Structure 1
């Protein structure tokens, strides 16, 4: 959904009606996860994707129909469904798509959602799929406490808002294996039987890059491209300038370890140490390895790595903490340039986050798309929690 919000906001500003098609449930090795979305304007323009190309044509026609009728629609596409196979879902699995029309009365809500995501704020939405409440009704909850729209009455709105507050607190009873700090989407059922689609948008994950060198510029560009909020930090003001790192959201001039000790780091943060200078990276890594960061990587040769590990042990860093350090940083891709090195680093971050092996897919036999081990797909339709 994130990737189409700017386009949707532009349509709202122009007064252009549109339809939004969202993947609400998946099973097995579906090409997209719940929350993936495609929007179709009343002029036939398209933004986004629900399947990476497999069922786009069919969903496009559904969207055009909802714009004509003003009525929401839904469809399940699966490899064992003749109609779905005809429109081409050859990659396996099944996906359920819900399509709802959006008119002038909801433009303000969609623009507010786009603005919240643009600013990196937490925001969540509940959309009615079926049941006693009107299909397509939508409730938006912003992190400043504002509530926009309704899912059909005060009691339903309160229950929907409570469900969203559970997500904000990281409640695990929701049935999802994702944490509250991540974008999240799932189908849920309210007490009165109303089936709703819940979407939660988190602040973007952070990438903290230490060392204002050419490798940092390439890494900042890729980190931002992948949706991170990127900070470059270096103690040398002549090198740490916004002009040298135009893709970074923030450039900080400070001693790296001192700045890291007072900044927010969570379990989605990637810390990349590119200084390969003991006076910078040893005290910095002492701090980094005490955080909850998902990834801590350090650049340098194998000789630099051995010397760094010796210094960290002498500084009293526990062995358990040292096992978290990815050094030398990145996957073995054989590249040398700053751009190729940046690719190897983000590849390692993605593999670690997603549970990938880092091996060529042609040499593996496991499913290409990871699925929930419970066997019901990444997301389940559950009774009220």
Structure 2
């Protein structure tokens, strides 16, 4: 539903009933991920897409039917049929499981409240039951990022607490995911499958080194949705005029800034300084933190010398294995703009476990499945650099 949050927010403010069709499971090479939605209002206006066009007509008609008949939530499955190329299905060969339900904003104010928080940029999660008892199918609970405020109820206080705790964990991970919960009397009596629609704060991109490459990388990072910080100890170079796309420009020693700022598992650290007096203390610290990506610019000779210095500083080999250096994928990049694409391509591949190879040289599904989500009600809390995790906790996925 996050893909159409602005329109849904407006419909809720106008107290306009609508049908919401949401992808709740994906198998194979489906074009769009779990949590993607289409909505249709009572006038027949539609917004969103769940398949890039393959099954939109069938989903639209199902939404119209659910609205017209005020029917209970319905499930629909769409796959590919080799026997009939003109059948309603996914030409890409994947499979989609879709939940369609009618929403009346006047009787479900928690949805409007959650959408209000989302459009205001507040971290918010909407928990939607997608499998379980019939009377709970499609029921929602919304939770703010701090876990203190919640709207709606599912199946009593124990269930609500268990779902809210998992919502907070998913917000910390910054990931929309389907989670299996419950089945025990202590936490959540009913066995439920819950889809958490997560609108998290933007992940951070920390760029160290106020060089020309940093200017292009900050622009590319902003385009990808990162909250971008450029940091350099030299005030003559670290200026807002040189980095208009950055959210923040900091004049400080890189390792000192990293020590006092907040990072989490979605943070990327890009070291472009080319200077050992900045690089070594910065990388030594970064490799101790649970950030998602650490890359450093330089030649292969620079990389080998950097590794030698870090080993002398006591950095373990399994920590050094996290360092992407020379930074970026081999695209033959020459200009700062091309180099920024090379770096961001590696960041994307790292986050989604991509190979970095041309798709024409691969086999199997083009769209990779979402990594296995957290299964417990505990999540990794964003940490500030002053909090040192054990090495076993610091490996980034």
TM-score where L is the length of structure 1: 0.81
| Paired residues, number | 366
What's the offset of the Cα at 1:59?
1.6
Deviation at 1:342, TM superposition (A): 1.4
Cα 1:184/1:287, change in 2 over 3 Å: same
Three-state SS of the structure 1 residue aligned to 2:52 is coil
1:96-245 → structure 2 map (5 Å cutoff): 96-105=97-106, 106=108, 109-116=111-118, 118-127=120-129, 131-133=133-135, 135-142=137-144, 143-151=146-154, 155=156, 158-166=158-166, 168-169=168-169, 181-186=173-178, 188=180, 197-201=194-198, 202-245=200-243
Aligned-pair Cα RMSD in Å: 3.3
Shift of 1:271: 0.6
Q: Are the counterparts in 1 of residues 114 and 125 from structure 2 also a CA contact under 8 Å?
A: no
The structural deviation recorded for 1:82 is 7.3
> Residue 73 of structure 1 aligns with which residue?
74
Identify the range of structure 1 (92-101 vs 220-229) with the bigger mean alpha-carbon deviation.
220-229
Listed one character per residue, the Cα deviations across residues 165-196 of structure 1 (whole Å, up to 9, x for unaligned) are 145458xxxxxxxx961313226576576855
Do the aligned partners of 1:98 and 1:129 also contact (CA within 8 Å) in 2? no
Q: How far off is 1:37 after superposition? A: 1.8
Distance in 1, Cα, partners of 2:2 & 2:219: 19
Relative distance call for 1:187 and 1:270 in structure 2 (3 A) is closer
More displaced stretch, 56-65 vs 196-205: 196-205
1:299-333, Cα deviation, whole Å (9 max, x unpaired):
12334334433433443433332222111110011
Kindly indicate whether the alpha-carbon contact (under 8 Å) linking 2:203 and 2:226 is maintained by their aligned counterparts in 1. yes
Please show how residues 330-345 of structure 1 align to structure 2 within 5 Å.
Answer: 330-345=328-343
Equivalence for 1:271: 269
Aligned equivalents of 2:284, 2:191: Cα separation in 1:
51
- Give 1:132 shift: 4.2
Q: How far apart, in 2, do the equivalents of 1:139 and 1:108 lie? A: 7
Residue 48 of structure 2 corresponds to: 48
Give the Cα separation in 2 of the matches to 1:348 and 1:50: 27
Cα deviation per residue 1:237-268 (whole Å; 9 max; x = unaligned)? Answer: 34434454343333322211101012222232
Higher mean C-alpha deviation, range 91-100 or range 54-63: 54-63
How far, CA to CA, are the matches of 1:365 and 1:307 in structure 2? 38
* Contact 2:128–2:138 under 8 Å retained in 1: no
Unaligned runs of 5+ in 2: 184-188, 376-397
Q: Secondary structure at the match of 2:87?
A: helix
Structure 1 pair 285–190 and aligned structure 2 pair: CA distance change class (3 A): closer
Q: Counterparts of 2:308 and 2:132 in 1: how far apart (Å)? A: 61
Whole-angstrom distance in 2 between the partners of 1:69 and 1:98: 16
For 1:5-31, what per-residue CA distance to the aligned partner results, in whole angstroms no more than 9, with x for missing partners?
233223334554433221112223333
Deviations 1:55-89 (A, max 9, x none): 22222222233333333333111124979962241
The 1:81–1:96 alpha-carbon spacing in structure 2 relative to 1, beyond 3 Å, is: farther
TM-score by structure 2 length? 0.79
Residue matched to 2:393: none
In 1: Cα distance, 2:152 partner to 2:350 partner: 39
Shift of 1:110: 3.0
Change (3 A) 1:66 1:123: same
- Map of 2:281 onto structure 1: 283
Give the distance between the partners of 2:181 and 2:252, measured in 1 at CA.
50
What is the distance in 1 between the residues matched to 2:346 and 2:103? 40
Q: 1:293 aligns with which of 277, 291, 300?
A: 291
Query: Secondary structure, in 3 states, of the residue corresponding to 1:133?
Result: helix
Aligned 1:3-42 pairs, distance under 5 A = 3-42=3-42
Describe the SS at the equivalent of 1:26: strand
- Secondary structure of 2:265 counterpart: coil
SS at match of 1:104: coil
**Corresponding residue for 1:365?**
363
8 Å CA contact retained: 1:133, 1:194: no
Single out whichever of 267-276 and 138-147 deviates more from structure 2.
Answer: 138-147
Partners of 1:85 and 1:194 in 2: how far apart?
38
**Pair 1:96–1:40, CA change in 2 (3 A):** same
